[in-house]
Structure 1
């Protein structure tokens, strides 16, 4: 739980007493490689903060083709947010790509925590805003950049992920074929 405290304190200062009141809202879950946290059709009860591991958030289209929405790693938050905030069934999948640990937070818990500790409402707003900005930047990049630019952007932003995520998934994330990714990788060495 100390990782959680450090993560919160990157945005807001909290006292020992405040942290003790925050901890009960989160539950720890260990996740195995290839284990799903969310599958399409599930009730989306939680949003997750990653303590360790790498996760892939994706959508499957009607033809069974995977479209990667995001990768997530330590200190990132993830869920199927449309389903989570609307308390609906999931349209996305969240799968663990390497063994990890997450903290789970229900929407009810998030709302109660925000009500009893106003600082946390500020914290959640900042996290949500940063997530929205990142998603918007990703969409703009997909719409306006060529594969080489998208590759360089991803490699510059996430060098650790470039080393840990199978190239197949990086290619899917960037919207290129595996062969194109190999060419991009070779030309950027």
Structure 2
């Protein structure tokens, strides 16, 4: 739980007493490679804070094609947010790509934390704002940039991820074929 406190205090300082209360809202879960935290059709009970491992959040279209919405690594939050906040069944999958560990937070717990602790309300607002900005940047890149520009931006933003994730997933995330990704990778060297 030490990492949870460090993560929160990057944005909002908290006292020892506050942290002792805050930590009770989280449950810790070890996750194995290829294990799913969420399947399409599941009730979305948790938002996850990544302590260790790499995860992908994706959906399958009507033809069964996988579309990766997000990768998540240490200190990133993830879930099917539409379903989490609206309390609907999931339309996404969350899969672990390497052994890892997450902290789980219910929506009820999140709401109580925000109501009881101004620092946590501030923390969640900043996290949500940053996530929204990142999502808009991702959409802008997908809609108006070349594959080369998307690859360069991904490499710049996530230099460690590009080395840790199978190339087929990077290609899916960027919206290119594996052959195109190979050319982009070669051109970048």
The two structures share one fold, judged by TM-score above 0.5: yes
Counterpart secondary structure, 2:115: helix
Q: For the residues of structure 2 that align with 1:113 and 1:154, how far apart are their CA atoms?
A: 33
Unpaired runs of at least 5, structure 2: none
Counterpart secondary structure, 1:124: helix
| Moved >3 Å (runs of 4+) | none
Q: Check if 1:144 corresponds to 2:144.
A: yes
Counterpart secondary structure, 1:18: helix
Q: Deviations over 1:33-55 (max 9, x none)?
A: 00000110000000000000000
Unpaired runs of at least 5, structure 1: none
Counterpart secondary structure, 1:23: helix
Counterpart secondary structure, 2:160: helix
The within-5 A match list for 1:1-189 is 1-189=1-189
Q: Deviations over 1:137-168 (max 9, x none)?
A: 00000001000000000001100001100000
1:132 CA displacement: 0.6
Q: For the residues of structure 2 that align with 1:32 and 1:174, how far apart are their CA atoms?
A: 26
1:16 CA displacement: 0.7
Q: For the residues of structure 2 that align with 1:148 and 1:119, how far apart are their CA atoms?
A: 41
1:175 CA displacement: 0.4
Q: For the residues of structure 2 that align with 1:159 and 1:107, how far apart are their CA atoms?
A: 32
Counterpart secondary structure, 2:53: strand
Q: For the residues of structure 2 that align with 1:81 and 1:162, how far apart are their CA atoms?
A: 25
Aligned residue pair count: 189
Q: For the residues of structure 2 that align with 1:141 and 1:186, how far apart are their CA atoms?
A: 21
